[in-house]
Every structure is written in C-alpha cells, then in structure tokens.
A and B are shown apart, each in its own frame.
Chain A
Amino acid sequence: MSLFGTSAGFGTGGTGVFGSTTTDSHNPMKDVEVTSPPDDSISCLAFSPPTMPGNFLIGGSWANDVRCWEVQDNGQTVPKAQQMHTGPVLDACWSDDGSKVFTASCDKTAKMWDLNSNQAMQIAQHDGPIKAIHWIKAPNYSCVMTGSWDKTLKFWDTRSPNPMMSLPMPERCYCADVVYPMAVVATAERGLIVYQLENQPSEFRRIDSPLKHQHRCVAIFKDKQNKPTGFALGSIEGRVAIHYINPPNPAKDNFTFKCHRSNGTNTTTPQDIYAVNAISFHPVHGTLATVGSDGRFSFWDKDARTKLKTSEQLDQPITACCFNHNGNIFAYASSYDWSKGHEYYNPQKKNYIFLRSAAEELKPRNKK
C-alpha cells in the first residue's frame, strides 16, 4: 500500500502542524514530522504489526510516557493515546495481534497497555530498570520477554505476577531482539547470548563479540526463507557487525563495517566516532537502517556489502528508528542521547520523530 500517495502530505518538511518551520538543521531531510512528539528523549519506536489495519506508531520517552499515533496514508499523524510510567520508558513493543502494547521502564516494571480500553496494567517486575521488552509468540506459548539491568532475562505470562522463567545473564542487558524462534541479547561487557525459543526459552549459545566496544543495539535478520539466521550488532564505536549463527564460512560471511563517523576522506583531522543507537531491518528487502549519535541515518545492503544512502546531518543525535510492517515507512527519532554527557543536554530542545517513505531507498543494490 502506498503510504504517501500524494505529494501533499509528504515532503513539505513537516510544516503542517507547528506552523511554518524553517528548513533548519533539525529536519534537513525534510521528512514528515510527527505531531505532538514527546517532551524528552525518545528511547524507542515501534510500528503496529500487519494484523492490524492501518499504521500505528508508539514511541516511548524519557518523559515517562508512551505515546501512540495513527499514521494515515497521506502522511498525517494523529495522536491517539498515551500511558505513563513512573520512570523513563526504555522500550516498547506490540503484541502480535496489535491489540496490546508492552512498555518497559526505569521504574523496574513493565506494563501491558490494552489499546482498546486504554488501560495499562503492570505485568512484570525486576530489580532494576528494564531495558528491553519483546513479545514472543510461539506455537505452544506466548509471553513477554524482559531484559533488565538487574542481569536477568525474564519471561512473563501476562496473567501472573511471577515470571514463567528467569534466566541469568552475565551482565546487564543493553539490547535485545526477538524473531521467533531466535532471540539475541547483548549485554554490558560485550556479552552476547543467543537464545532459542522453541518449546521454552533456553540459552542457545554465548558468542564472542565480533566488536571491541560496548554493545548498543542489535537486530535480527532473516534469510530468504524468512527464518532468522543472524543479527546485526552495533557498538558505541561507530561499527556494526553482521553475524550469522551458522554460516557456511564464518570468516567470509561474518563481517563488520564502520559507520557514523565524520571525516570520510579527510585524514588530516581526527575522526569523530559516534555510537550506533539503533538498527532496523526492512521487512521486505532485508536491507538495514542504522541511526547514530552523529544525527544521521544510513541505509545499507548487507548482502552486497554496500551503503545505499546516508542522510544529511540532523542537529541532534538520532536515538531510535523502525520500519512499519510493510516497509513503506521509516520512522526515526531525533533527541539527545547523552553521547556528549550532561553538558550538552538542553531540556528546551525539542524532540522530533520523523517519517520517511522507505519503499524506494531501501531496495537492495544489485550485486556486482
């Protein structure tokens, strides 16, 4: 379905809602601005699954809220609802049927938000902030997986206050991704664990990190048969590793690439290396998008090992990104990620979420 069918709603630089906006560096790509963005840094974005008609976007922020917008075909965004936690929201995800949103927060709880009734109830409790939350839909069970800074990975049946299962991790959970039957968790101290989710979740393998710096984001990709086969792992050192679980030739198949760095060709000045804040795979093309602290997003084709596009530089880091279920929309959030410490935090600076038409730019490059 074409999201931005007419040019009316799209490409006008998001001027619609907030009156006239100049083309300053807050939106150099002239993408559509989502209306009523959160008041503090956006930690996560997620689009509704294909089981629901239409596109709904949820975004969690450090303002303790999770907001939901409807994204219409003409590009207009309509705020629909929001829920609150008592601490910053770090992650959010949808259930497979699109009726619930699960949110994870620094207040050590996770909530299940029923969108129809706009009620949210707590479904999980940890001893530390919950950094990652994912919905698992297996043939014989369904549950919510939460990864926390308390070094545990817990699985919750939403009806019970006690977890169905709790797996210890070597370190604090920094990021995770789930594509049934595989789950990957990256922890502090460069830990990397793969879980298999069939029958019940269990640790499958601990992997030596392909990266030498702190892990920051991870995203699973699938093979041509739509089965999860590997993951992309991003670090704070402007680098992403593409890692296959069982490749025929690990030395050749696994690789890393640098990204989100300044001074591409100019070698005289020191290069600034930025963290990769999020990675998302296009659901149809299998190409990936990375967003970084440098305020740019880039699209890559991991099979052709080429870069497809890099955006202009926004004036703030890009902290989150996601594709909608059919890959027509790419959403990314512009807000401060603390990469330069406390001094550069300006609470008055606006936070944005932008939407971009993603059908064309993420087409794979033909292999040479």
Chain B
Amino acid sequence: MGRKKKKQMKPWCWYCNRDFDDEKILIQHQKAKHFKCHICHKKLYTGPGLAIHCMQVHKETIDSVPNAIPGRTDIELEIYGMEGIPEKDMQERRRTLEQKSQESQKKKSNNQDDSDEDDDDDEAGPSAQQVVSVQPQTGYATPMAQPGMPPVAGAPAMPPGGYQGMPPMMPGVPHMMHGMPPAMHGMPPGMMPMGGMMPPMMPGMPGIPPGMPPHMAPRPGMPHMAPAPAAGAIPSRQAAPAAQPTVTKPLFPSAAQAQQSASGAPASNSHSTAASSDPPKATFPAYTQPSVSSSSSTSSSSNPSSSTVAKPPATVTSKPATLTTTSATSKLIHPDEDISLEEMKAQLPRYQRLIPRAGQAHAAAPSVAAVGSMMPPQQGMPPQQPGMRHPMHGQYGAPPQGMPGYMPGGMPPYGQGPPMVPPYQGGPPMGMRPPVMSPAGRY
C-alpha cells in the first residue's frame, strides 16, 4: 500500500510510536500493551480507565502507562486509538515522518525486531517482515558525491542504472552518476559532509547517524543489487510501518541469493538486508561496522551472536530511546557461536570418535563399546550408572524376529545396497557393552 502521509492515514500509537495498518489493530495494541492491568491482566480502554481500575479493584495506584516511551507515559491523558493525541505531538509526528520518508530506508534501523510483533501470547502483531527493506549500503557513493544534496534518502538509489524511485528525490542524480567513480575515491572526505547532513535530516531518528557511516563506506564493487532493493524499497517502504523494516524483495537474482546468506544488516536489524551487509562488512571494516556488525549480525562467523546482549536492542543503530516495548535488555540463552547447537555438541571429541563408516564392523565394534560406555574418559565418570541406565540390550536381543505389531506385508526387497547388515542388532555389541551394567531385573 502506498503511504504518503502516515500520520493522517496510518494510525500510530502515541505511547510507543509504533505504526499500525488500521485503527482497530492500533486499539488492540493499546489495550494489550498500555491499558492492561499488570495485576489481573484485564484490558481497559484508556489510561485513566486503567488507573481507576487499579485503584478501585486492587487498591493500587499507577503513575505511568506501561510500556510507554519516556515522555509519553502520562496516565491522565485520555487517548483512545488516534483520538486524544495532543496536537503538538501530531505535528511532531508529521514532521518526523516526512523526514523519514525523504531519507528512505537508511533510517529504518531503529525500529526493529521486538517491536515488530505484539509480544503477548494472545495477540500477534502485523508481520513486520512483509515490507521490503532497503539495502542501506547501496548508493552511498552518491551521497559522497553530493555534499550539498539535502535528501540523503536519495543515496540508496544512486547506483548507476535504476533510479526508479529516485528522480523525485534526487534531481541531480544523473550528474552524480558520472561523478560517482571519482566520488568514491573521495569518499572519506566526502563522508564528512554527509555525516553532517545526517543529523539535521533525521531529528526523529537519533539512532540513524551512527548507522550511516558504514553505509557510506566506499564501495568499489558496488553490488548490483543496490539499485533493485533501493528502488524497490523506497516505494515499498511507504507501505511498511515506519518503524518496521522488513523483507527485501529482490529484483535481481544476485540479490536473491545474497539475501539467503547474511543476517543482520549493518546499520539496521533488518533481516533481509543482511545480504548486502556481508560485502560491506568484509571490505569496510574501518567504519562503524564493528559496532554494528557485532551487535546485529547473527550469521556471519566473524560476528558471533552475543548470548548476553539482546540482539535487537543492543545494536548501535537500533532502538532509539523511543522504541523498546519490553525491557531494555534481554538475554539470548544460546552460546556465542552462530552455529547450531547440534554442530556445537558434535564437535566434542566423544562424539567424533565414531565417524568411520558403519560398514567397518571391526572398527565399529570397539568404538561401539566405547560409545556404549557413554562417558568419555575426560569426564572421569564411571562408564554407566548402575541401576540407572540400562542399555537394554538384554531386552532387545530377545525379540529380534518377534515384532508382532509390525505388518510384514509389502516389504520391498532390501536391494543390494552397501552390505550394511551391521551387527548392531543386539548380539555382539551387547556383549561388549555392559561390563558394568547390572540390568536390574525387568528394570
């Protein structure tokens, strides 16, 4: 959906600055997050209503609206959906949104992740993933070349070629084009003005300027995906709630596969833009990349996901003071390396011993026995816990042929696959295994 004037056509929550598709959802959100009694979870309709409820029913006073950003916690302001929002806040919002739309997706880093969906178990927020996210990294060469260009937003669209969304924003684009290669070399000096331009551009996005520099980084090999996402992102950005960057719709095949690979975008938590973040990270470590990548990336091995810092809230560029709906920090219970838990566990020596092909019965047998003990020597544990762990081989050895429950019909021929009829059925390995096992009767 094309959105031009968000504040008028797109409802937003005064308490936490989130955008919504329609007012009904906004009201649901407010009831669930801001007007919900923390004692009995009853959902009220307004802030004062909540205050009165707590006082009358629980004899408790509350002085601020739950989950509200600082400055918007007034419990006495009667706001319902979009009604009751003070005019000056409306105007401020209008201004902010205008600036945001001018700058396009570069700024979207701020509102991420946790705010994207309603957290409560009973409600699911709009999926923030739908909207195309712009690749912030693209087009930074242009800003360099145009120190005087007010619309930073145009930068993403700069790359040679597609300016679909750009022309309105960057009248000087064609000139920029030619100047780009030289401009690129001059990037560092050029970045200063850009850096200076950023802040005035985005009063509403304090988090953005730190995010800009990485994108500014010179890009000798400007990924050609730049134009596509940039162009495509800008109009689609309008469609998304301003705070919720989402999936990029790749217009180029290269973008498509790039999207698969990376995770955290440098300057934003946007998942989809992660793709373009990879090249920049590798080539431009000098800039703020480290701070960005360390916080936001979860995929690249050089940026291990932090287990102690919340990924979204911790990123430098995300989460300006306005956003967090939950507490500021959260902890991901996961080891630091960005590989799966199974891969981590499989690296342990005790699980590596048996990698030789199962076909080697002899080789396998002793190792099976070793496995059977289950406790690697380094752990210093007795091979089995007598009485606790039964290898159950006794039981299994008994009825190898007697599986009354299984329907024998329709068994296809085994074929002549690799001769893998292992001794694992029960006899031999069992013999090796349980020297310390005393199967206690039936169990």
On A, residues with C-beta under 8 Å from B are 17-18, 35-36, 39-41, 43, 51-54, 56, 62-64, 67, 70, 79-88, 90, 97-99, 106-109, 111-112, 114-123, 125, 129, 131, 149, 158-161, 170-172, 174, 187-192, 206, 208-214, 216, 236-237, 241-242, 250-252, 254-259, 261, 263, 265, 267-275, 293-294, 305-307, 310, 337-342, 347-348, 350
**Chain A neighbourhood of B391, CB < 8 A:** 39
Which B319-377 residues have a C-beta within 8 angstroms of A? 326-327, 329-335, 338-346, 348, 351, 354-359, 364, 367-368, 371, 374-375
A275–B125 CA distance with the chains assembled, in angstroms: 20
B8 at the interface (CB under 8 A from A): no
A305–B408 CA distance with the chains assembled, in angstroms: 43
> Which residue of B is nearest A52, CB measured?
B407
Report yes or no: A272 in contact with B330, Cβ–Cβ below 8 A. yes
A sample of 9 inter-chain contacts (CB < 8 A) reads A81-B399, A84-B422, A119-B421, A172-B340, A210-B247, A256-B117, A265-B38, A271-B326, A271-B330
**Chain B neighbourhood of A214, CB < 8 A:** 263, 298-299, 305, 334, 338, 340
A269–B330 CA distance with the chains assembled, in angstroms: 8
Report yes or no: A120 in contact with B260, Cβ–Cβ below 8 A. no
**Chain A neighbourhood of B9, CB < 8 A:** none
Given A174-B340, A257-B124, A275-B334, 19 new contacts (CB under 8 A): A80-B403, A80-B405, A84-B368, A88-B351, A107-B354, A121-B417, A121-B419, A170-B257, A190-B274, A206-B260, A212-B263, A265-B38, A271-B327, A306-B121, A338-B335, A338-B344, A347-B381, A350-B388, A350-B389
A324–B10 CA distance with the chains assembled, in angstroms: 46
A41–B287 CA distance with the chains assembled, in angstroms: 44
Report yes or no: B407 in contact with A99, Cβ–Cβ below 8 A. yes
Report yes or no: B259 in contact with A208, Cβ–Cβ below 8 A. yes
Would you give the 0/1 interface string for B231-266, flagging 1 where the beta carbon is closer than 8 Å to chain A? 000000000000000011010000011011111100
Which B98-138 residues have a C-beta within 8 angstroms of A? 112-113, 116-117, 119, 121-127, 129-131
A270–B384 CA distance with the chains assembled, in angstroms: 39
A70–B67 CA distance with the chains assembled, in angstroms: 50
Report yes or no: B311 in contact with A237, Cβ–Cβ below 8 A. yes
**Chain B neighbourhood of A341, CB < 8 A:** 335, 344
Would you give the 0/1 interface string for B174-218, flagging 1 where the beta carbon is closer than 8 Å to chain A? 000000000000000000000000000000000000000000000
> Which residue of A is nearest B392, CB measured?
A36
**Chain A neighbourhood of B343, CB < 8 A:** 149, 172
Q: Of B326, B359, B395, B429, which one neighbours A122 at CB under 8 angstroms?
A: B359
Report yes or no: A208 in contact with B248, Cβ–Cβ below 8 A. yes
Report yes or no: A106 in contact with B420, Cβ–Cβ below 8 A. no
Most chain A CB within 10 A, of B126, B271, B392, is at B392
Report yes or no: A189 in contact with B260, Cβ–Cβ below 8 A. yes
**Chain A neighbourhood of B221, CB < 8 A:** none
> Which residue of B is nearest A111, CB measured?
B420
Smallest beta-carbon distance B195→chain A, Å? 27
Smallest beta-carbon distance A307→chain B, Å? 4
**Chain B neighbourhood of A191, CB < 8 A:** 260-261
B56 at the interface (CB under 8 A from A): no
**Chain B neighbourhood of A114, CB < 8 A:** 411, 414
A158–B392 CA distance with the chains assembled, in angstroms: 29
Report yes or no: B326 in contact with A39, Cβ–Cβ below 8 A. no
**Chain A neighbourhood of B122, CB < 8 A:** 305-307
> Which residue of A is nearest B300, CB measured?
A189
A106–B354 CA distance with the chains assembled, in angstroms: 9
A275–B346 CA distance with the chains assembled, in angstroms: 18
A255–B30 CA distance with the chains assembled, in angstroms: 19
**Chain A neighbourhood of B414, CB < 8 A:** 112, 114, 119, 121, 158-159
